[in-house]
Structure 1
Amino acid sequence: MSQNPDIIRQELEVANKWLDISIERFVANMRKLKIVDTGTLLDSFKKQVVGSSEGRLQLQLSYALYGKFVDMGVGRGMGQGVRRGDDGYDRIRQSRGRLKRYNRKKRNWYSREMGYQMKRLSELMSELHGMLLISATSDALPSEDVTLTF
């Protein structure tokens, strides 16, 4: 089943606007929660809308992996390759392995917002296809009066 080019264009517009708004909201959440250590996570967002051969849209939103760990409040808090006994280990950790500077805490910049944004995208697409279905049905109706008996 081939889709109308107007429908595809409208879907692309909705998808691009949704990605822009989602990234804005993620960045706002990170600033609000003060997750701006180096700015690498803020700058790592990439978005792409890809049309597939079946006529379906695929949206890709990517960011630095460590952003998930910040969201969950997990991770070692050290650079890669630092082991017990190394110089960097004693500088960052106590003898029992606990972090000296800060305790990790969960900072939900992603999970709650992503759930909301996915729900919102489904509502936008349903609304778009509902309006297109209504307009296609009204265009297909004859110009004369139609009576329906229930």
Structure 2
Amino acid sequence: MTANPTLVSDLDVAKKWLDITITRFVDNMRQLRIQDTGALMASFKQQVVGSAEGRLQLTLSYALYGKFVDMGVGRGMGAGVTKKDDGYDRIRKTRGQLRRHTRKPRNWYSREMSYQTKRLSELMLDLYGQVLITTATDVPGETTINF
């Protein structure tokens, strides 16, 4: 059984893309000073899985609270705390705003992910365009192309 040469190439592109994306995310976090404990930066995990049909599956995971930092929400109180509870006045004003911290979005994820997703689609388009051209020109007669 021979390995599909385009699958190896796809895997290489996907792994490099994931490495670059994680590096850019960490750089964005450092630039925006989102490194209180470093746990969010250390939580990135990546996986690329190739199947026998030539399909790729990319997985990029990180700590959930990183999404809340990006949106500027979720800071201050535990789940289920209401105005009737002790300590509510200590943390929040009468209108519900936090006393110490102001919430503001720090976009380390949303802009970069949309850019990187577009970039991955361009890379795969170039790769499959080159494969399609070489397959169509190299094989005389009938040509079957599987993606």
TM range (shorter): 0.7 to 0.9
- Runs of 4+ aligned structure 1 residues displaced above 6 Å come to none
Shift of 1:56: 0.8
Unaligned segments of structure 1, at least 5 residues: 143-150
Equivalent pairs counted in the alignment come to 139
Asked if 1:21 is matched to 2:20, the reply is yes
Q: Find the counterpart in structure 2 of residue 112 from structure 1.
A: 111
Equivalences for residues 1-150 of structure 1 within 5 A: 5-79=4-78, 85-86=85-86, 89=88, 91-141=90-140
Shift of 1:6: 0.7
Shift of 1:138: 2.6
Take 1:130 and 1:26, find their aligned partners in 2: how far apart are those partners?
29
Structure having the higher Rg: 1
Contact 2:70-2:109 at 8 Å conserved across structures: yes
With over 3 angstroms needed to count, the CA separation of the structure-2 counterparts of 1:86 and 1:41, relative to structure 1, is: farther
Q: Find the counterpart in structure 1 of residue 145 from structure 2.
A: none
Q: Which moved more, 1:50-59 or 1:4-13?
A: 50-59
Paired letter, 1:49:
V
CA-atom RMSD in angstroms? 2.3
Matched position secondary structure for 2:107 = coil
Shift of 1:92: 3.5
Shift of 1:98: 2.2
Take 1:54 and 1:16, find their aligned partners in 2: how far apart are those partners?
19
Take 2:52 and 2:140, find their aligned partners in 1: how far apart are those partners?
31
With over 3 angstroms needed to count, the CA separation of the structure-2 counterparts of 1:36 and 1:81, relative to structure 1, is: farther
Query: Structure 2 length normalisation: TM-score?
Result: 0.82
Shift of 1:131: 1.1
Identity of aligned residues (%): 65
Take 1:92 and 1:46, find their aligned partners in 2: how far apart are those partners?
34
Shift of 1:64: 0.6
Unaligned segments of structure 2, at least 5 residues: 142-147
Shift of 1:136: 1.8
Take 1:49 and 1:92, find their aligned partners in 2: how far apart are those partners?
44
